[in-house]
Structure 1
Amino acid sequence: MPFELDIGLVSRAGRAPHNEDFAAVQPADDHTRVVAAIADGVSAGGRGREAAQTSVASLVRDFFCTPATWEPTVALDRLIGAQNAWLHGINRRRQPAYGLTTLTALVLSGQSFTLAHVGDTRAYLLRQGQLEQLTDDHVMGGTDFAHRLSRALGLEDRIAIDYRQGEVLPGDVFVLLSDGVHNVLTPRQIARRVGEAGGAQSLAEHLADAAWQQGSRDNLTALVVRVQGVQDATLDDITRQAQALPPLPLLQPGSVIDGLHVEALVADSGVYRVYRVYRVHDGRSGRRYALKTLHTQRAHDREEWAALAHEAWVARHLQTGPAAPHLVRVHTLAEVALAATAVPGESALPQPVPSPSASASASASASASPSAFYLLYDWVDGETLAQWLARRHRPAVVQVVSLAQQAARILGSLHRQGVVHRDVKPANLLCGPDGVLRLLDLGVALTGREPAAVRALHAGTASYVNPEQWDDPPAPADAGSDLFALGVTLYQLLTGRLPYGEVIAYQRGRYWRDPVPPSRHNPQVPIWLDAIVLKAVARSPAQRFETAEELLLALERGAARPLALPAPSPLSVRDPALGWKLACLFSALLNAVLVYWLLFLPR
């Protein structure tokens, strides 16, 4: 969802002979990022206007040419630093100086803002009636030097830039002013006029008019950005919000956290205990949720925080796509509060919560801020396929094929959106009471935006990891890794066994033999399904399905268009050490002949 902004801009010469201020606003083509900047040229050399205009124009023009992977502070630092070096180089060669300028730049991205500031232009934020000055003036101290700049673009070869970042909420008003306006208007007067004015353009004109009426003798420039609706949270937003929150302590049944009542601890992951999952219910609506948080032993590991924040971002990114019905929906605490308001007293299975309006979202964000870092997922009753296997429940072949088709559709949707799950297994496939298969746990998913620690992790459950990930060096996980894991899951559902046997965690898998056809263990499995399963779990990537859509098509065609059974692998392929074994056998036989010749044959 793009930003919804109301923008106003006024720049006048006022009582000064020339207007040396310059301001501009530039949105991205998709309106998901916006850059606004204001500059006040210094006229000692007579070229302050050119310095201000080139600084603002180059910034708003070039910002969207920087790589999308750069943080806003990195992009601003590179661009402003380059402009400063250019201005300083000209000023050093020309006398009098070409020009100096102040600069205040605002970047809105996702649900956060980034402010870069040099000089004595100012930025204010009006939020819920409270006006906050976001910048500090870079001027020399003392009455005599009150308007002498201590920092400006072009003044020195290197520039120190002040940065500030924060959250953006609907209803926020950002006001950027030159010193001709803010030197004569008090913060109280600015806040009062923001409250009185209607649109952003009207507010900008009111501020310039008020400064004129109060005798300002400088240029009058006001740039107003009123936020009416914010974009969906970016990964940077979620990570920043997560790292600003404290860790969640160990919870006991009966504990209450942010209005959520803990019913039970339902999962405590693995030996290293990275995550805990609780079943909780909202005291206002009675709805159940799954609360996922870091284990207390890992709560101070910032890489784990970034990984959990990445999971939240992936879950929200996918819940509006075609795979949404097959994924468990993640909620913010504000959405939980809105759901409780919309359906008071409801205790049925939670349904997807519609996106709130801008004003409702702002109110909920203000009143429902989490006290610690955790994720809230819908709680869905049902059983995982691992629970089926644990109680030795072997589903009918028709049901297994239906589940495999749903899983292939889910993975196909994820892969088309550039997401690799990396941990497909029965424990992460939940069959709900509505018969819909859901894929759980996006904690180690790859998106291209995942933290480096997540990318470097040899993720997945060992018995479901494709053979090439055990190579040295290991092949990176990709969409084929998910399809291999799904094939192993399908084999296990049909036979109750793993195609290559149990692989011990953190040890190299052994793929020395071809899997036994599932029909050998389960006579109800038809031959056409044998071919599909064996192709899915083939040891060679070239023999497997290339895409989830190819696997789905084979399952839908079934016996109508059966696949050929894969040819058995040669012995030399099944046993790479065969040559060494034969050499050892030949050496042993030769030694035996030599011993016999030395001991028993006449000389």
Structure 2
Amino acid sequence: MADAELSLSYGQAFVAPDRKRHRSSMSLEIPVERGQLAAKGGCALIADTTSKNAIAKQAGDLTVRGFLADYFATPDNWSVKYSATRVLRALNSWCYSQSRFVRGGSYVTSISAVIFRGQSAHLFHAGDTVVFRLRGGEFEQISRDHVTDLGGYRYPSRALGMDVNLDIDYIELPLKQGDIFLLTTQAVRGTLLPSDFVSLIRADVSDLDAASERLAHAAAERADERGYTADQFCFQLVRIDRLASAVDDTPGRVYGDLPVPRELEPGDRIDGLEVLEVMSRSARVRVYKVRDIKSRRVMVMKAPSPELSLKNAYLEHFLLQQWVVDRVNSPFVVKVMEPSRPRDHLYYLLEHLEARTLTDWARQHPQANLEQRLDIARQLGKAVHALHRREVMHQLIHPDNVMIDRHGKVVLVDFGACHLREGDGHESAGPLARQVGLTKHSAPEYALGAEVSRRSDQYGLASVIYWLLTGMQPYSQSLEQLRTQTDLELLEYQSARMRNAEVPQMLDEALKRALDPQRTLRFRRLSELLYALRLPQQDPGKALTPSEAMREPANFWQGVAGILLLLLVLSWLLK
């Protein structure tokens, strides 16, 4: 007999006079493909923020869409808890960082997500959204309210985007056929009684949309009777129609329960892929050029080294690489490719680029002009900026990890040391980069074992740009020999303009700051360095500083006035 498949039904209802200004968002996704449904399950979630939030709609919608997109993009080898926790931490970091740039609002929102997989429901909850379960005649709340009473008002004491560290409740519940889950918002408090919920849902349990509408109308009427606004009621019902067969969801799945591929050679076949070329072998990873036997599509396969197949910590990061690259979605960052058939081994696939490294390009184009080199620098800057928008550090920005095709398009590759910011910030990023291996473009703080941040990537980017413009390093001293903070003070920046007279002064000054040995003295935002790359290139022999550029029109008219004055004086003398 074939394994039983999980089957869910759902219904929704929303009460809001102005849908464009609502503060509650909800959604549900049930994969159609059986394999994905078995691996990831179905997910229902709801988000809610305060009425005083100027961007309440954006905050709720972004939270819902972001969670669903990122959760279903996580590797199938990850457990539900590990996948959802990773996604929530990444989403929390983004919301928290972006709220600093919003006036009158924030991306802070309560969230409740229930993932139905196999024979279990996994609840992830923070804030004051509410989740109930109806089993037979028993109606109980399974979420816990995180609220604080201030002046008669109840505010969430815990929520997504509220703090750099996310404290989220997680519980796993066994499912029974016929279980009904209700996700709603705090606004329903004080309207319906538990008996009301049960009777309204049971009135016609075959139509969950109708049941949700009954709940919404009843709650709105009860609110009107009691004299308060009923403009933000949100109801979502999910029923378990059939349970799936038991699945293995042990913690070991976090690191992948697929075998690591053996050493492969050209001509070998694995999972419907034919190995065309061994691109590289290192202590930690194998990279192969492969072709899909069915579609004939050429791709790059990246797999762990067979010698490390039992080192779970490495495999955890290996699986994270695929997810990180997949969620960035930038034309300047290499793309993850989906296999045409389920994988029986541990690896991931990347697009194959008909391109060469920046190192090779520079060697083959020694006469390339300044604008060509700056165009490459701008594209590389966009790649790094795209990573930082998704709270990702690359940590290995190096000419050999920058690919350029025959049209001059730049793509950043190799995410062996990438790090995703979470609740602990970037505390584990430095050790990871040192473990993978530092380069001459790595920021000084890596060599010193000091704290790293996105400004460390800024240094790596600026170092590659400096090398691209001058063919040299910004410091005569070797960064590998750094031992103390005192050593940093001895580093002396070598002007890029002195080594290449075509480099504008303003760009040289921007590079100097981005390459400051002290991490905290670099640009606060990467965009400030990218702005210097975009400036119109004036006469390289006399580039304008910002203050000179502002004074240029005034200087022109002052010169005209001086000439006119001189002519006037001459006319008097000649009379």
**Normalising by the residue count of structure 1, what TM-score does the alignment of the two structures yield?**
0.51
CA contact (8 A) 2:8 2:240 kept: yes
Q: Which runs of 5+ in 1 are unaligned?
A: 10-24, 42-48, 77-114, 125-174, 179-198, 206-221, 228-235, 338-367, 566-603
For residues 344-386 of structure 1, what are the alpha-carbon distances to aligned partners after superposition, in whole Å with 9 as ceiling and x for unaligned?
xxxxxxxxxxxxxxxxxxxxxxxx2101110100001111112
1:262-313, Cα deviation, whole Å (9 max, x unpaired): 11111223xxx11111111112222111101111111211111110111111
> In the TM superposition, what whole-angstrom CA distance separates every residue of 1:468-523 from its partner, at most 9, and x where no partner exists?
3444xx43221211111111111211222222257476974965331322344344
- Partners of 2:324 and 2:251 in 1: how far apart? 11
Letter of the 1:123 partner, please give it: K
2:529 alignment partner, SS class:
helix
Matched, 1:412 2:385: yes
Deviation readout 1:207-252 (Å, 9 max, x if unpaired): xxxxxxxxxxxxxxx972479xxxxxxxx99994751211111111
Match of 1:521 in 2: 499
2:542 equivalent to 1:536: no
2:46 alignment counterpart: 28
Q: Matched residue of 2:418: which SS?
A: coil
Cα distance between partner residues in 1 of 2:494 and 2:44: 62
Match of 2:471 among 485, 496, 500: 496
Q: Distance in 1 between matches of 2:531 and 2:180?
A: 61
Q: Determine the C-alpha separation between the residues in 2 that align with 1:70 and 1:530.
A: 41
Other structure's SS at 1:7 match: strand
In structure 2, the partner of 1:332 is 338
Partner of 1:116: 173
The structure 1 residue matched to 2:324, chosen from 299, 310, 314, is: 314
Give 1:438's aligned amino acid: V
Q: Distance in 2 between matches of 1:423 and 1:468?
A: 14
Kept after mapping to 2: 8 A contact 1:483/1:536: yes
Mapped to 2, the partners of 1:267 and 1:508 lie a distance apart of: 32
Name the counterpart of 2:442.
465
Structure 2 regions of 5+ residues with no counterpart? 1-6, 13-42, 48-62, 69-112, 115-122, 124-130, 148-155, 182-203, 211-236, 243-248, 548-575
Given the alignment of the two structures, is residue 281 of structure 1 paired with residue 334 of structure 2, yes or no? no
Q: 1:550 Cα shift?
A: 0.7
Q: CA deviation at 1:398?
A: 1.4
Amino acid at match of 1:494: L
Q: Secondary structure at the match of 2:512?
A: helix
CA deviations 1:381-422 (Å, max 9, x no partner) are: 111112235668463221111111112222223223222221
Aligned to 1:57: 141
Partner residue in 1 for 2:371: 398
Kindly report which structure 2 residues correspond to 1:167-182, keeping only aligned pairs within 5 A, or say none.
175-176=178-179
Distance in 2, matches of 1:485 and 1:397, equals: 20
Quote the residue 1:249 is aligned against.
262
Q: Does 2:443 match 1:438? A: no
Question: SS state of the match for residue 410, structure 1?
Answer: helix
Q: CA deviation at 1:532?
A: 3.3
Asked if 1:201 corresponds to 2:254, the answer is: no
| Contact 1:8/1:201, CA 8 A, preserved across alignment | no
The residue aligned with 1:262 is 275
Q: Which residue in 1 is equivalent to 2:303?
A: 293
Residue identity in the other structure for 2:338: T
Distance in 2, matches of 1:57 and 1:310, equals: 34
Distance (whole Å) between structure 2 residues aligned to residue 249 and residue 387 of structure 1:
31
% identical aligned pairs: 22
Q: Residue 377 of structure 2 aligns to which amino acid in structure 1?
A: A
Task: Report the equivalent of 1:426.
Answer: 399
Please report how far the alpha carbon of residue 327 of structure 1 lies from its aligned counterpart in structure 2 after TM superposition: 1.0
Secondary structure of 2:301's aligned partner: strand
Alpha carbons of structure 1 residues 285 and 200: separation in structure 2 relative to 1, 3 Å: farther
Matches within 5 A, 1:360-371: 368-371=341-344
> Based on CA coordinates, which of the two structures has the bigger radius of gyration?
1
**Separation (CA, whole Å) in 1 of partners of 2:440 and 2:458:** 14
TM-score, normalized by length of structure 2? 0.53
Pairing 1:340-351 to 2, within 5 Å after superposition:
none
Whole-Å separation in 2 of the counterparts to 1:452 and 1:516: 31
Q: Could you say what secondary structure the match of 1:116 adopts?
A: strand
**C-alpha spacing 1:508/1:299, structure 2 compared with 1 (3 Å):** farther
Q: What is residue 527 of structure 2 aligned with on the other side?
A: 549
8 Å CA contact 1:292–1:375 kept in 2: the answer is yes
Secondary structure of residue in 2 paired with 1:123: coil
State how far apart, in whole Å, the 2-side matches of 1:237 and 1:325 are.
37
Give RMSD over aligned pairs: 4.3
One-letter code of the match for 1:468? E
| Contact 1:412–1:547 (Cα < 8 Å) also in 2 | no
Give the partner amino acid of 2:9. Answer: D
Structure 2 residue aligned with 1:595: none
AA aligned opposite 2:318: L
